Structure 1
């Protein structure tokens, strides 16, 4: 009798999220102006203003959502306060800025995780952008660059903790699909918003 083989392990939600968002992620990265020769202080300020309009609206939705998984400390991971700090340092009143109205749906824990995956992943990527902004514009956490270094030296540890949390939430195939769709929607909504604010290449 041949040995009994275990069934292949179900793909993790992280794999589904990475695979599902790859094309949208790459497309958006190529349109962000951080490494463009046109990036000056004025353009950067407009870009951060657009980021604020999206992040503030989306984080407000998450804060009032009943679907943030138990055990996830959302308050500790909000990026809007850092954006407010940066905009004020750059002479912008955040309260006067427009807010994005077209946001991803958050009607399940899986959808919440998909949205959070995009926001946390963007924070991890902010480390590279922070160095560019520091070198090119002379900005740091005190004068307009706090958002790109919101977790400071703990960025890698925060990402690792998020991935561990993501893997701890039990999701079936439907849940993993919902998470991936919500992540894709987050990328799409963000790109469309930045496009409307005319800050993309």
Structure 2
């Protein structure tokens, strides 16, 4: 898949940025969730405004900002301010952005195993591989040409950059 191949360096940068959080450590886990929330709140709002539900009718069920907010609330934390989301102005850009956040859902299931048992894990545990497969099928169908692929790629890279910025903003921040 083109998006996977072309965004590999972006994905690696985000993985590296979030690898600095020790998810077994409660303070690091809080900072991790705050970073995730500051990106998810913005990108999900941008996707909704851009008509993600027209591209993926089950978009409302795919949203995870509420899960990260619930986990933060369980930890006594409020919603962080959202970082500025990239502009999403086409169906191709919607698909590029969805590629990133739906892919993070798959990785979240593996990360959830590293979280201490007494900490909330709704956000990381919300995994459903059938949603990924259905998104890939839509991407394959809806991005046939170079122009739409370029739009999706630009959006995916912008969303990866948003998550990297969120991780760096929380790095070293102790959240008791």
TM-score (norm 2): 0.88
2:68/2:122 contact within 8 Å kept? yes
TM-fit CA distance, 1:170 = 4.6
Question: Which residue is equivalent to 2:4?
Answer: 18
Map 1:142-157; keep pairs closer than 5 Å.
143-151=119-127, 155-157=128-130
* Paired position in structure 1 for 2:99: 117
1:100 alignment partner, one of 76, 83, 86: 83
2:167 equivalent to 1:194: yes
Partner residue of 2:117?
138
Report the aligned-residue RMSD. Answer: 2.1
| Counterpart position of 2:71 | 86
- CA shift in 2, pair 1:89/1:73, >3 Å: same
1:26-41 → structure 2 map (5 Å cutoff): 26-33=12-19, 36=22, 39-41=24-26
Change (3 A) 1:112 1:199: farther
1:45 is matched with which residue? Answer: 30
- Are 1:159 and 2:132 counterparts? yes
Which of the two has higher C-alpha Rg?
A: 1
Structure 1 portions without partners, runs of 5+: 1-14
Cα 1:184–1:27 shift into 2, 3 Å: same
| Number of corresponding residues | 173
In 2, the alpha carbon distance for the partners of 1:34 and 1:197 equals 10
1:159 CA displacement: 1.3
Unaligned 5+ runs, structure 2: none
- Matching residue of 1:128: 110
| Native 8 Å contact 2:7 2:153 kept in 1 | yes
Farther off after superposition, 158-167 or 107-116: 158-167
- Residues 1:62 and 2:44 aligned together: no
Q: For residue 77 of structure 1, what is the aligned residue in structure 2?
A: 62
